Amino acid sequence: MDSKKTTTMCITGQSDTHLTQIQNHRLHCNIVNDFLALQSAAKTAGFELTIASSFRDFNRQAAIFNAKFSGARPVYNKQQQVVELDGLSDIDKCIAIMLYSALPGASRHHLGTDLDVFDKAAVSDDYQLQLTPDEYQQSGPFEPLSDWLDANLAMFGFYRPYQHDLGGVAPELWHISHIKQSQLLVNMLSLQVLHECISNSDLLAKEAILANLPMLYERFIINVSPV
Protein backbone atom coordinates (compact mmCIF):
# COMPACT_ATOMS: atom_id res chain seq x y z
CA MET A 1 0.00 0.00 0.00
CA ASP A 2 1.43 3.40 -0.95
CA SER A 3 2.14 6.01 1.72
CA LYS A 4 -0.67 8.34 0.58
CA LYS A 5 -3.25 5.56 0.91
CA THR A 6 -1.86 4.59 4.31
CA THR A 7 -2.15 8.19 5.53
CA THR A 8 -5.70 8.46 4.19
CA MET A 9 -6.69 5.32 6.07
CA CYS A 10 -5.13 6.65 9.27
CA ILE A 11 -6.89 10.01 9.19
CA THR A 12 -10.27 8.43 8.45
CA GLY A 13 -10.00 5.87 11.24
CA GLN A 14 -9.49 2.84 9.01
CA SER A 15 -5.95 2.08 10.19
CA ASP A 16 -4.13 2.22 13.53
CA THR A 17 -0.54 1.99 12.31
CA HIS A 18 0.16 5.53 13.54
CA LEU A 19 -0.63 4.69 17.17
CA THR A 20 1.16 3.45 20.24
CA GLN A 21 -0.25 1.95 23.44
CA ILE A 22 -0.08 4.02 26.63
CA GLN A 23 -2.05 3.75 29.87
CA ASN A 24 -4.55 1.36 28.26
CA HIS A 25 -5.20 3.84 25.46
CA ARG A 26 -3.79 4.41 21.99
CA LEU A 27 -2.22 7.73 21.04
CA HIS A 28 -0.36 8.99 18.00
CA CYS A 29 3.26 7.99 18.49
CA ASN A 30 4.42 11.59 17.94
CA ILE A 31 2.43 13.09 20.83
CA VAL A 32 3.25 10.68 23.66
CA ASN A 33 6.18 12.62 25.13
CA ASP A 34 4.21 15.89 25.14
CA PHE A 35 1.23 14.22 26.77
CA LEU A 36 3.37 12.64 29.50
CA ALA A 37 4.94 16.04 30.19
CA LEU A 38 1.46 17.58 30.49
CA GLN A 39 0.34 14.78 32.77
CA SER A 40 3.41 15.17 34.97
CA ALA A 41 2.89 18.92 35.31
CA ALA A 42 -0.75 18.34 36.21
CA LYS A 43 0.32 15.88 38.92
CA THR A 44 2.68 18.48 40.38
CA ALA A 45 -0.28 20.90 40.45
CA GLY A 46 -2.38 18.35 42.36
CA PHE A 47 -4.38 16.73 39.55
CA GLU A 48 -4.51 13.14 38.38
CA LEU A 49 -4.93 13.86 34.67
CA THR A 50 -6.47 10.70 33.24
CA ILE A 51 -7.47 9.68 29.73
CA ALA A 52 -11.17 8.89 29.38
CA SER A 53 -10.99 8.13 25.66
CA SER A 54 -8.51 8.56 22.84
CA PHE A 55 -8.39 6.75 19.50
CA ARG A 56 -11.71 5.61 18.09
CA ASP A 57 -11.75 3.81 14.75
CA PHE A 58 -14.18 4.33 11.89
CA ASN A 59 -16.28 1.27 12.67
CA ARG A 60 -16.77 2.31 16.29
CA GLN A 61 -17.70 5.87 15.31
CA ALA A 62 -20.08 4.54 12.65
CA ALA A 63 -21.76 2.26 15.20
CA ILE A 64 -22.34 5.23 17.52
CA PHE A 65 -23.64 7.38 14.67
CA ASN A 66 -25.96 4.68 13.31
CA ALA A 67 -27.34 3.91 16.77
CA LYS A 68 -28.22 7.56 17.27
CA PHE A 69 -29.67 7.94 13.77
CA SER A 70 -31.87 4.86 14.26
CA GLY A 71 -33.04 5.98 17.71
CA ALA A 72 -31.27 3.16 19.57
CA ARG A 73 -29.21 5.74 21.48
CA PRO A 74 -30.40 9.17 22.63
CA VAL A 75 -29.33 12.41 20.98
CA TYR A 76 -28.86 15.46 23.23
CA ASN A 77 -29.01 19.18 22.63
CA LYS A 78 -26.81 21.80 24.32
CA GLN A 79 -29.17 21.87 27.31
CA GLN A 80 -28.56 18.12 27.74
CA GLN A 81 -32.17 17.40 26.81
CA VAL A 82 -33.09 14.49 24.56
CA VAL A 83 -33.87 15.54 20.98
CA GLU A 84 -36.96 14.06 19.39
CA LEU A 85 -35.76 12.89 15.98
CA ASP A 86 -39.11 11.70 14.64
CA GLY A 87 -40.31 14.07 11.96
CA LEU A 88 -36.87 15.49 11.20
CA SER A 89 -35.34 15.11 7.76
CA ASP A 90 -32.32 12.84 7.46
CA ILE A 91 -29.93 15.78 7.21
CA ASP A 92 -31.47 17.50 10.24
CA LYS A 93 -31.06 14.28 12.20
CA CYS A 94 -27.39 14.25 11.19
CA ILE A 95 -26.94 17.85 12.28
CA ALA A 96 -28.51 17.08 15.66
CA ILE A 97 -26.22 14.07 16.11
CA MET A 98 -23.08 15.94 15.09
CA LEU A 99 -23.49 18.42 17.90
CA TYR A 100 -21.74 15.86 20.11
CA SER A 101 -20.88 12.87 17.87
CA ALA A 102 -18.49 13.40 14.99
CA LEU A 103 -19.17 12.28 11.47
CA PRO A 104 -17.44 8.89 10.95
CA GLY A 105 -14.36 9.42 8.85
CA ALA A 106 -13.96 12.95 10.19
CA SER A 107 -13.69 12.39 13.94
CA ARG A 108 -10.60 13.94 15.47
CA HIS A 109 -10.43 10.81 17.63
CA HIS A 110 -9.41 8.90 14.49
CA LEU A 111 -6.15 10.85 14.46
CA GLY A 112 -4.77 9.65 17.78
CA THR A 113 -3.90 13.29 18.52
CA ASP A 114 -7.09 14.05 20.44
CA LEU A 115 -8.25 12.75 23.79
CA ASP A 116 -10.84 13.33 26.47
CA VAL A 117 -9.41 13.88 29.94
CA PHE A 118 -10.61 14.22 33.54
CA ASP A 119 -9.19 14.47 37.05
CA LYS A 120 -9.42 11.02 38.59
CA ALA A 121 -8.40 12.39 41.99
CA ALA A 122 -11.45 14.67 42.11
CA VAL A 123 -14.00 11.85 42.21
CA SER A 124 -14.52 8.48 43.86
CA ASP A 125 -13.51 5.24 42.15
CA ASP A 126 -17.15 4.39 41.46
CA TYR A 127 -17.95 7.78 39.93
CA GLN A 128 -19.80 7.47 36.62
CA LEU A 129 -18.02 9.82 34.24
CA GLN A 130 -20.46 11.63 31.95
CA LEU A 131 -18.26 14.07 30.00
CA THR A 132 -20.86 16.81 30.23
CA PRO A 133 -20.38 20.59 30.52
CA ASP A 134 -21.53 20.80 34.14
CA GLU A 135 -18.68 18.50 35.23
CA TYR A 136 -16.10 20.99 33.94
CA GLN A 137 -17.70 24.25 35.04
CA GLN A 138 -20.28 25.64 37.49
CA SER A 139 -18.49 24.10 40.50
CA GLY A 140 -18.35 20.68 38.86
CA PRO A 141 -15.73 18.17 40.04
CA PHE A 142 -13.38 18.92 37.16
CA GLU A 143 -13.68 22.71 37.11
CA PRO A 144 -10.28 23.16 38.87
CA LEU A 145 -8.60 20.93 36.28
CA SER A 146 -10.37 22.81 33.50
CA ASP A 147 -9.06 26.11 34.80
CA TRP A 148 -5.55 24.66 35.06
CA LEU A 149 -5.75 23.37 31.49
CA ASP A 150 -6.76 26.83 30.30
CA ALA A 151 -3.55 28.23 31.72
CA ASN A 152 -1.17 25.41 30.83
CA LEU A 153 -2.21 23.41 27.76
CA ALA A 154 -0.36 25.55 25.23
CA MET A 155 2.95 25.19 27.06
CA PHE A 156 2.87 21.48 26.30
CA GLY A 157 1.68 21.76 22.72
CA PHE A 158 -2.05 21.14 23.26
CA TYR A 159 -5.27 23.13 22.92
CA ARG A 160 -9.04 22.71 23.03
CA PRO A 161 -10.53 22.61 19.51
CA TYR A 162 -14.07 22.75 20.92
CA GLN A 163 -13.59 25.34 23.61
CA HIS A 164 -16.02 27.85 22.09
CA ASP A 165 -19.49 27.62 20.60
CA LEU A 166 -18.96 28.37 16.91
CA GLY A 167 -22.27 27.00 15.68
CA GLY A 168 -20.92 23.54 14.95
CA VAL A 169 -19.75 21.03 17.53
CA ALA A 170 -20.90 21.98 21.02
CA PRO A 171 -18.20 23.10 23.49
CA GLU A 172 -16.31 20.13 24.94
CA LEU A 173 -13.97 21.26 27.70
CA TRP A 174 -12.82 17.68 28.24
CA HIS A 175 -11.46 17.38 24.69
CA ILE A 176 -7.80 18.30 24.14
CA SER A 177 -5.77 18.10 20.95
CA HIS A 178 -2.07 18.10 20.11
CA ILE A 179 -1.64 21.28 18.08
CA LYS A 180 1.13 20.40 15.65
CA GLN A 181 0.27 16.80 14.91
CA SER A 182 -3.48 17.29 14.65
CA GLN A 183 -3.09 20.19 12.23
CA LEU A 184 -0.80 18.15 10.00
CA LEU A 185 -3.41 15.41 9.75
CA VAL A 186 -6.55 17.54 9.60
CA ASN A 187 -5.04 19.45 6.67
CA MET A 188 -4.97 16.15 4.76
CA LEU A 189 -8.66 15.43 5.36
CA SER A 190 -10.06 16.90 2.16
CA LEU A 191 -13.64 16.76 0.98
CA GLN A 192 -12.58 14.25 -1.65
CA VAL A 193 -11.00 11.93 0.93
CA LEU A 194 -14.04 12.15 3.16
CA HIS A 195 -16.49 11.65 0.28
CA GLU A 196 -14.73 8.46 -0.79
CA CYS A 197 -14.63 7.14 2.78
CA ILE A 198 -18.34 7.71 3.40
CA SER A 199 -19.33 6.43 -0.05
CA ASN A 200 -17.79 3.07 0.83
CA SER A 201 -19.43 2.90 4.26
CA ASP A 202 -22.67 1.51 5.71
CA LEU A 203 -23.79 4.73 7.36
CA LEU A 204 -27.57 4.86 7.61
CA ALA A 205 -27.68 8.48 6.48
CA LYS A 206 -25.08 8.11 3.74
CA GLU A 207 -27.13 9.67 0.93
CA ALA A 208 -28.09 12.74 2.98
CA ILE A 209 -24.54 13.16 4.24
CA LEU A 210 -22.99 12.98 0.78
CA ALA A 211 -25.56 15.41 -0.64
CA ASN A 212 -24.71 17.95 2.08
CA LEU A 213 -21.05 17.12 2.67
CA PRO A 214 -19.58 20.57 1.85
CA MET A 215 -21.91 22.21 4.40
CA LEU A 216 -21.17 19.59 7.07
CA TYR A 217 -17.44 19.90 6.38
CA GLU A 218 -17.51 23.67 6.84
CA ARG A 219 -19.76 23.67 9.90
CA PHE A 220 -18.58 20.67 11.91
CA ILE A 221 -15.15 19.56 10.74
CA ILE A 222 -12.93 22.56 10.02
CA ASN A 223 -14.93 24.95 12.22
CA VAL A 224 -12.86 24.71 15.42
CA SER A 225 -11.61 27.15 18.02
CA PRO A 226 -8.34 28.91 17.11
CA VAL A 227 -5.08 27.81 18.68
Dump the DSSP string for the chain.
--HHHHHHHHHTTS--TTEEEETTEEEETTTHHHHHHHHHHHHHTT--EEEEE----HHHHHHHHHHHHHTSS--B-TTSPBP--TT--HHHHHHHHTTTSPPTTS-GGGTTSEEEEEEGGGS-TT------HHHHSTT-TTHHHHHHHHHHGGGGTEE-TTSS--SSSPP-TTEEEEHHHHHHHHTT--HHHHHHHHHTS--TTHHHHHHTHHHHIIIIIS-----
pLDDT at 142 > cutoff 80: yes
The model's pLDDT over 156-195, given as tens digits with 9 standing for 90+, comes to 999 999 999 999 999 999 999 999 999 999 999 999 999 9
pLDDT at 6 > cutoff 90: no
The model's pLDDT over 63-76, given as tens digits with 9 standing for 90+, comes to 999 999 999 999 99
The reported pLDDT for the residue numbered 145 is 98
The reported pLDDT for the residue numbered 3 is 76
The model's pLDDT over 110-124, given as tens digits with 9 standing for 90+, comes to 999 999 999 999 999
Structure confidence at residue 208 as a pLDDT band (50, 70, 90): very high
Structure confidence at residue 87 as a pLDDT band (50, 70, 90): very high
The reported pLDDT for the residue numbered 207 is 97
The model's pLDDT over 13-31, given as tens digits with 9 standing for 90+, comes to 999 999 999 999 999 999 9
